[in-house]
A and B are shown apart, each in its own frame.
Chain A
Amino acid sequence: MTVDILLQAFALVFRWDVILIIIASGLFGMFVGAMPGLTATMATALLIPVTFFMDPVPALGAIVTATAMAIFAGDIPAAMLRMPGTPASAAYTDESYLMGRKGQLDLNLGTNLVTSVLGGLIGVAILVLAAPALAEFALAFSSFEYFWLAALGLTCAVFLATNDPLKGFASLFLGLGLGTIGIDPAAGFPRFTFGTVELMQGVSFIPAMIGMFAISELLRGVTSMQGSGEVVLQQVGNVFKGVGGVLRRYWVNFLRGSGIGVVIGALPGAGADIAAWVSYAVSKRFSKEPQKFGTGHVEGIVDAGAANNSAIAAAWIPALVFGIPGDSITAIVIGVLYMKGMNPGPTVFLQNPQLIYAVFMIFVLANLLMLPLGWAIIKSAKQVLRVPKNILLPMILIFCVVGSYAMTNSVYGIIIMLVLGIFAFMLEENGFPIAPVILGLVLGEMFEQNFITSMIKSDGSFLAFFARPIAGILGVATIAIWLIMLWRMGPWSKARPAAV
């Protein structure tokens, strides 16, 4: 990386229009995150039609800023209403609410805000350091290595994102099945197209994801339309009072939470919500006073509040370097990268380094901006939480329709969105997780294509998958994970996998 590239990136970011977009999308992200039922993934999906008309840097900057804000803002209704604003706050919603009941609402929100900002910055630091180095390393990856990476990603989808491996497998295979529609990646032969031209393009990612995350959430919102808008809120005072003391006391928790967030964020299929659950559980396990957890104790909130924000940036590492999404947000981001001609992969760091570094700068900016914007949204939470759902939900539906249409330039995108939205709603209502469907859809083609091209290269020899040193290590690791999983699932295993 040269100074020249950094200067170019600087010039791309520090323009009044880009800064305005960042601030606007920050406010948007705060609002979406604070509304119970609207998630950070949905914030990304709703930004799609708008980013369609932007240059690459502001488009990605809008997504980066909105998602970082949304993950923090989800903590606000958790503490005030006992309703997590996004799933990433669900792990410590009860704890936050009980703190509020004990009269510690200010301290709770202040701790959430500061740990979110600092955790987010740690995630960004790891992203900036790790991604280019990993990309340099990944330039030596061929189809053999990518095959194993895709296999690892699919493995994570089942075992990390769900408590019930059987339902996880069912969802994954549904996703893989959907991914086979269209022209097959190796032989160029159309599959499951029923003679229609539209189906030859396959199930388009972004309309599919808008459907599965936004439409299914809207349907759920409609079924619980009553009972919102009636909230009793406490007055918020100085949120920053006492936060310094909490951080001094629990700095180990903060670092541990950020670390767990980075690792889980970077793993395919698991994002901020899983990071929060795991770091909260770890915090309780290693706490000196575990009996205080669940009574309105701040310790676990330090861990989990940092973890969910550090996971956001870390999820971009595999997305940028390998085109493998680290979470559902980056699954959409990959689609946007393709749309903007910044095809993910190690070569994106060779071809467009200034764009990548501009995005990194926006990551830092967004996390710094979180402090004033977060403070503002806490102060105005009373008004924000009173927005009636019967106005909000139809507006979201309009955005979903426009976004899906913009992606395919045809009604086909809208049909995909609606069909998969209803499908995802039914799946989730019956306890089947959605994340494995997405990973199956996104990674299915990568998995199949790299398998077939590897077989062509090796003239049909399976041993070639272990012949290159990195491929060999990845392959042995993947198979070892499978064996461990099988062992733990077997009837001889006494302890079922812990439900985190």
Chain B
Amino acid sequence: MTDFTRRHLMVTAAGVGLASQLAAPAIAQTFPVRPITLVVPWGAGGGTDATARIVGSLMEKEFGQPVNVVNRTGGSGVVGHSAIATGAADGYTIGMITVEITMMHWQGLTQLNPDSYTPLALMNEDPPGVQVSASSPYKDLKALADAIKANPGRLKASGTGQGGIWHLALVGWLGAMGLPASAVPWVPSNGAAPAMQDLAAGGIDIVTCSVPEAKAMLDAGRAKSLAIMAAARNPQFADVPTLKEAIGVDYTVGAWRGIAAPKNLPAPIAERYTSVLKKINESKEFRDFMAARGFGVKWADAAGFAKFMADGNASMGVAMKAAGLARSA
């Protein structure tokens, strides 16, 4: 039933796309003539929501049309990502897609993958940090890594649901140190905030989530960040070293967010979006907002974003199979 509907929609969308390409120059000049819907697959108040809202409000200024941010939550992101992919490819439905699109299909949660969209622009990427409780005996990353090696399976980590991006970050980091995924068992949580609270309460030992997500507990003095899995330090948290600086392990990963439209968006509209998004990405308002929240800014145009997702998709497949998180089809 669903499959039939989706295929049906895609065929229709392809038809519309073809027809609109014939009349393309006219569309691009007048676009947009009515309000745009920006779908967010995650809840209001979170990092993705905040990023989408600032992009949406800047887009409003550029286009002179309202941009309505609509949260379609639930299903570990499947519901919202599906709403973006199945929207009409007329440019009036776009969405903020996140790193999960390169992961969910390996888990067998959905058939959606990066190819289900017209990529428009990559806007942000945040590396995870390695957080421990303020009362933790491990004062730096080396002490923590030694403890993991000495007693595999004793320390527990959390930060998101089973098979989420921060789970993969942990597995990837352990792998880079030559350890199996079972060296630090994963405790699934409803996101970074509950995991950080459990860390402060002493229920778990490590939280791998992005440093902005950990900020409230770090500021309250109840947790500390030992390292980030990035190539360079975050200027907002300049005293937190990178993995390479701390223990000489060269492993980086990140959760990214980008803007995409349903597949077969007419090329002139897609190009219009990419040029507007480039302007937004470089604007002072966007940079200031992202810096204030501690979010990393990243840019890639449509082609760059497509390649970025394809690479990420392939490496996630390898990592998830290694961690036993991929569902054998």
Contact = CB atoms under 8 A, between A and B. Distances in A.
A188 B75 contact: no
A139 B201 contact: yes
A456 to B, nearest CB: 5
A406 to B, nearest CB: 10
B204 interface: yes
8 contacts: A143-B187, A185-B161, A188-B163, A188-B164, A195-B1, A201-B73, A338-B45, A409-B72
Contacts of A198: 79
A340 B198 contact: no
A346 interface: yes
Given A140-B201, A343-B45, A409 B216 contact: no
A145 B198 CA distance: 11
Contacts of B222: 139
B296 interface: no
Nearest to B43: A338
A163 interface: no
Interface stretch (B188-196, B224-232, B254-262): B188-196
B162 interface: yes
Nearest to A142: B203
B163 A341 contact: no
A457 B197 CA distance: 15
Nearest to A198: B79
B82 to A, nearest CB: 5
A347 B216 contact: yes
Interface in A313-348: 338-343, 345-347
A347 B75 CA distance: 25
Give the interface residue-count category, chain B.
Answer: 35 or more
A346 B153 CA distance: 29
A453 interface: yes
Q: By DSSP majority rule, is chain B's interface helix, strand, loop, or mixed?
A: loop
A196 B74 CA distance: 13
A453 B193 CA distance: 16
Contact of B46 (A195, A341, A456): A341
Closest A-B pairs by Cβ, 4 of them: A341-B45, A201-B74, A142-B203, A200-B75
Given A201-B79, A339-B44, 12 more contacts: A185-B190, A188-B162, A196-B1, A197-B78, A201-B74, A345-B197, A347-B197, A408-B72, A409-B71, A449-B188, A452-B188, A459-B153
B163 A347 contact: no
A139 B197 contact: yes
A411 interface: no
A449 B75 contact: no
A351 interface: yes
Nearest to B71: A409
Contacts of B78: 183, 197, 200
The listed residue with most A CB atoms (<10 A of its CB), out of B72, B185, B222, is B72
